[in-house]
Amino acid sequence: MSTSTPIIEMRGITKRFGGVTALRNVDLSAYSGEVLAIVGDNGAGKSTLIKVLTGVYQPTEGEIIFDQKPLVMSSHADAINNGIDAVYQNLALADHLTPAQNLFLGSELTKTVLGIPMLDNQKMSEQAIAVLKDRLGVQLKSMDVATESLSGGQRQAVAIARAVRHDDLRVLVMDEPTAALGPQETARTLKLIQTLRDQGLAVIVISHALDDVFEISDRIHVMRRGECAGVVQTADTTTQEVLGLITGANLTQGGAAA
């Protein structure tokens, strides 16, 4: 952990949908230069918590502190503008576009030719190559192919590169980043996550794959039935202890907050 003060905190977050309470008084903290894993069974509240963190949902109660200041967001665009972004499991890529076009989707670079504005595909391609290589250490064989022709790991890299292209990114959330990937591509994706952590980002990873969680995370935040069941240092815990927190088997013991 590179800093002693969290870059982002969630304090007492409660989220209700009508009469259903999806989150109840949840605290979360993430630090620059660490990987925080969020684990829990389906329905534990992981996705709702992350959607609050990234501005998709607004909390019913509680507050978010970002860079030691209160942060109120009304949309995911607000989160991006404040340096918080997410790579969701479906990656949200336009398969028919090239990797570069996906990186700049919605913020395309243009040039003027004979007074007519046109897409500057060459500049977007050059910048996309630089982001992939410099930030992620990834080089694609071609930038002129449809993104749908890339492997799962390469598509994951494009989705990550789209988020880290913004210099002001401080917090990156990744939802099940290794789902549906083979062993080799899983290893490459985990390496990408470690690279981003080493560059000083706070990386928050939601995952059901505890082997991956133990390989890359610094701390593990366990959700259970809409509440935080415990937060443990990865190096000081075991798979059995984390499973116990997930299922409630050692609920009386709790988890030592880190």
What are the pLDDT digits (tens) for 171-229? 999 999 998 888 999 999 999 999 999 999 999 999 999 999 999 999 999 999 999 99
Nearest to 178 by CA among 202, 160, 163: 160
Q: Sketch out the chain's domains with CATH numbers.
A: 8-96+169-253 (3.40.50.300)
- Confidence (pTM): 0.89
Beta strand ranges found along 124-208 (DSSP E): 171-175, 202-206
Query: Given pLDDT bands bounded at 50, 70 and 90, which one contains residue 88?
Result: confident
Mean pLDDT throughout 78-95?
Answer: 91
pLDDT digits (tens, 9 = 90+) for 119-165: 899 999 999 999 999 999 999 999 889 999 999 899 999 999 999 99
Give yes or no for residue 256 having a pLDDT over 70. Answer: no
pLDDT digits (tens, 9 = 90+) for 5-64: 999 999 999 999 999 999 999 999 999 999 999 999 999 999 999 999 999 999 999 999
Cα–Cα separations (whole angstroms), residue 144 to 98, 110, 119, 129? 6, 18, 15, 11
Sign of CA pseudo-dihedral 244, 245, 248, 250: positive
Pairing of strands 202-206, 219-224: unpaired
Give yes or no for residue 253 having a pLDDT over 60. Answer: no
